[in-house]
Structure 1
Amino acid sequence: MISLISAPSNLGLRPPEPSAVPGTSKAPEALREAGLHTRLLAAGGADAGVVIPGRYRDVVEPGHVRNEAALIDHAVRLAERIKAAVDAGHAPLVLGGDCSLVVAAGVSLAGRDAGLLYLDGHTDFRHPGNGGPVDAMGGEALAAAIGLHIPEVADIAGLGPYFAASRTVQVGCRDDDVDASLVRASIADVVTASEVEADPVAAGARAVGFAGSGFWLHLDVDILGPAVMPAVDSPDPGGIDVDQLVLLLQRLAPHAVGADVCIFDPDLDLDGRFARLLADVVVAGLGALGSEVTRRVR
């Protein structure tokens, strides 16, 4: 059974412009308005409520990430909600929010030998070891998930690394991503957007082959091209189309212990058309979430 958890966080993102805050915190309610909850509850799902984040502040201290204390606090509380769903035999579907939510998933699954499939148009691999200061977790979440970030976010309560690099696969990054080769050398595999475009089902099978059954599935909707999904934090040219994403998710979802959906920004979708599109993708692609997960993970 899918257990819906709303996590309206924007704590891992830079402000879109001075004095503004990112709109991703509005995504769960925009998706509810688009009918997502009604459709999944009618199919047998459950509403597990909302985990409210702390206040967004546009302040970064050297050597730390933006909104660090609030982000860690939210991750710990969200992890407890995810863990409760998994322990009950449910498949948590976390509606965010930004990519830093994968840290909460990692904290919740620490010690359960879960893999990670990181579906994202970007590699999100900035960390202290690959140049430049850390800043916003939205562009650093994959690095944190496998223990390559500062310990404050990559080793909460001594639980890091949250996911084994040997069972982590990045899926859907643009072929010209500057960190793709570095990521490929650091985790089990990278499946680029062009490889997904060529054969989404085969790409999904390849990813599951490395991650095994019982992985966390992270979905940043900027894996889609901006022509079909412009309402995201960082749209970039390229990306896959809706049909390809649905086929990919259908191959992955049954083997996932849970999933999060991130980076949709309702501030860029004033008439709700992209929220309705994303609701369709989630229902079609993630409707069988967790149905084939081995008991070992749970």
Structure 2
Amino acid sequence: MAIDLIAAPSNLGLRPPEPGSVPGTAKAPEALRESGLFGAFARLGARDAGTELAARYRAAVEPGATVRNETAIIDHSRRLTGRIDAAIGAGRTPFVIGGDCSIVLAPALALRRRGRFGLVYLDGHGDFRHPGNSDEVGALGGEALAAAVGLHAPAVSDLDGLRPLIQPRDAVQLGARDDEVDAIELAETLGAFLPTSAVRTDGIERTVERVRAVVAASDLDGYWIHLDVDALDPEYMPAVDSVDAGGLDPAELVALLQALAPDAIGADVAIFDPDLDPTGEYAESLTALLEAGFAELGTATVVSTRGQERHG
């Protein structure tokens, strides 16, 4: 299956980095294009499937909303869902280049409309803050996994009345730091919670087995990979909105992606911030990592007789 590259330049799910400023993640798709990402994937047979623009970022939470930019996030998610669904319907593999982590709602909605799918949420943070466990909700980028599995406010977790978009037992949080604040709830709620220490204790092969036991179960229609590049240790990727030590190294991340990407129905990448990469060196290193990790994205999936994607 050939890849469709979909740009999703959004910063709607993040807090302002400082008063009066806006997050730079909306610039990521163009910065990665400039660093050669789109060209590299074109040489592998991918095509540019266009850009889904987001509305203007606003720092204040609108009246009656739970998170900032709530209306804009919902609108962007629905439009991005359409592009993802069109790619899958055409027998292609969507690879969404974002953006902040709130973009994961779009593939979650697209796949929920088609059946029951798993989610590999590869992120240096749990993104599991929600109204049931925090009084500080308001930035959906740090709450996206909770929304995807139906624990957030209905406006962002019950799109199309299909809550949960991903069954909690069908999701894996992979790569969070060992001091993750919501570690206990993640472990009790999801199909698996595998922080960085678990990856290193188990090794790549065993970690992949544990992930696949959840997201590639026989009763699922496939799985999606969400990658927040802050899964990398800041020694290798400091150009992210929340820098915390203790992450994966590039070799570990590439090995995980190479093992999981072929059977995935699609993937997205988020949180790279070009404003924090003035020389472009991290865009270049990230381009090389994504090419190595996702070159075989979707190559092991086939179209089922129901028109959905299944593992082959």
Deviation by residue 1:189-213 (Cα, 9 ceiling, x = unmatched): 0111122234123212210111117
Q: Give percent identity, aligned residues only.
A: 52
- Letter matched to residue 194 of structure 1: S
Kept in 2, the 8 Å contact 1:123–1:177? The answer is yes
Instruction: Name the residue aligned to 1:168.
Output: 171
> In the TM superposition, what is the alpha-carbon distance from 1:158 to its structure 2 partner?
1.1
User: Quick one: distance in 1 between partners of 2:208 and 2:241?
Assistant: 25
Instruction: Name the residue aligned to 1:205.
Output: 209
Question: What is the root-mean-square deviation in Å for CA atoms of aligned residues?
Answer: 1.2
Runs of 4+ in 1 over 4 A off after TM superposition: none
- Letter matched to residue 217 of structure 1: I
TM-score by length of 1: 0.97
Deviation by residue 1:120-151 (Cα, 9 ceiling, x = unmatched): 00000011111314200011000000000111
> In the TM superposition, what is the alpha-carbon distance from 1:257 to its structure 2 partner?
0.5
Kept in 2, the 8 Å contact 1:9–1:25? The answer is yes
Q: Report the count of equivalent residues.
A: 298
- From 44, 48, 70, the equivalent of 1:68 is 70
User: Quick one: distance in 2 between partners of 1:190 and 1:219?
Assistant: 15
Gaps of 5+ in 1: none
- Letter matched to residue 205 of structure 2: V
Kept in 2, the 8 Å contact 1:39–1:283? The answer is yes
Farther off after superposition, 286-295 or 222-231: 286-295
Kept in 2, the 8 Å contact 1:200–1:245? The answer is no
Instruction: Name the residue aligned to 2:191.
Output: 188
User: Quick one: distance in 2 between partners of 1:116 and 1:255?
Assistant: 12
Matched, 1:100 2:102: yes
Structure 2 SS opposite 1:76 = helix
Gaps of 5+ in 2: none
Farther off after superposition, 190-199 or 179-188: 190-199
Structure 2 SS opposite 1:57 = coil
> In the TM superposition, what is the alpha-carbon distance from 1:294 to its structure 2 partner?
4.8
- Letter matched to residue 94 of structure 2: P
Instruction: Name the residue aligned to 2:252.
Output: 244
- From 269, 278, 285, the equivalent of 2:293 is 285
Structure 1 SS opposite 2:50 = strand
- Letter matched to residue 213 of structure 2: G
Instruction: Name the residue aligned to 2:268.
Output: 260
